Amino acid sequence: MAEEVFTHTTHHRSFAIHGWIGLVLIAVFWAINWGLQGPRTFWAFFPLWLGFCLTMDAINLARYNTSLLTRSWRRYVGLFLVSAPAWWLFEVLNWRLLNWYYLGRPLLNWWQYILVSSLSFSVVIPAVFESAELISRMGFVKKMKPWLVIRPDRNTTVGFFLAGWVMLALLAIWPHYFFPFLWISIYCIIEPINVWLGNRNLAMWTVDGDWRPVVSLFLGTLLTGFFWEMWNYFSFPKWIYTIPYVNFLHIFEMPLLGYLGYLPFSLEVFALYHLVVGFLGVKKGDHYVQLD
């Protein structure tokens, strides 16, 4: 029995082959994204970020003996499938806000742009969840004490739901002033729906004052965002921000205060994913994404 346990532990603490593949993808396509110019690099964003996802997954597996990919490769593929339409929601809303735009966009026709963009957007959710799982098992997160209690009762969920729609209306009517609501309104609308439908939701933890999953999402998305902005900086095509009032003290293309948007965005990612899989029958008892 002791030999069996030792073998199992050793196997899972080695750096998995898909992690080495991920590192190779990062090395190759980082160089391509920064070294080549023109439409040849439109397709290079996806393999670079696939490399990030695979590398982070292997790190989680090596450190914690479990990972998103090894728990279910089918569910892992599903992260990519949900991610693309989820990010398109923000792209559609940005048509009104105009908070970012893409250099090099005219080099592609409409259908090429849709195809290449969808492929690129497919890595958002898996990258965020991989980073959040890594953060969630770190000692300082594990040791966090219970804090503010938010219960998913009727008054709270209805309040969130209505507030979300009000914020969405305000940013649509006065985008120059209420653009920050983009990064919280979607969560306020979808989180109550997840509660009402019995889908997995963050209130499952905050009802006991447990904010560790929220903090893990916050910090995991900031970590992912750092790489998003860094790899974007010397790439072409690339995105550029035009954010009112905060367009100063840039870290890469992103204004420093703009990084705050990654925090509530992480909650929207969690809510959007679980809304979609909830329609497929995956309810709040599901433990595929592990943040506690």
**89-119 residue pLDDT tens:** 999 999 999 999 999 888 888 999 999 999 9
Q: At 83, list the tokens.
A: 């991610």
pTM of the model: 0.93
Residue 105, pLDDT score = 87
Residue 241, pLDDT score = 97
Cβ-based neighbours of 208, under 8 Å, separated by 6 or more? 146, 149
- How far apart CA 45 and CA 31 sit, in angstroms, is 11
- Helices marked H in 198-234 — which ranges? 203-206, 212-233
> Tokens 């980082």 label which residue?
30
Q: Which of 75, 219, 198 is nearest to 133 (CA)?
A: 219
Check residues 282 and 6 and name the one with the higher pLDDT: 282
pLDDT digits 0-9 by tens, 55-85: 999 999 999 999 999 999 999 999 999 999 9
CA torsion angle 63 65 69 75 (round to 10): -130
Task: Specify which residues 103 forms β-bridges with.
Answer: 238
Residue 40, pLDDT score = 65
Fill in the DSSP letter of residue 59.
H
Average pLDDT for residues 189-210, to the nearest whole number? 97
pLDDT-above-90 percentage for the chain = 87
DSSP-derived 3-state class of residue 281:
coil
Compute how many other C-beta atoms are within 10 angstroms of the C-beta atom of residue 208. 12
DSSP-derived 3-state class of residue 102:
strand
Q: How confident is the model at residue 2 (pLDDT cuts 50, 70, 90)?
A: very low
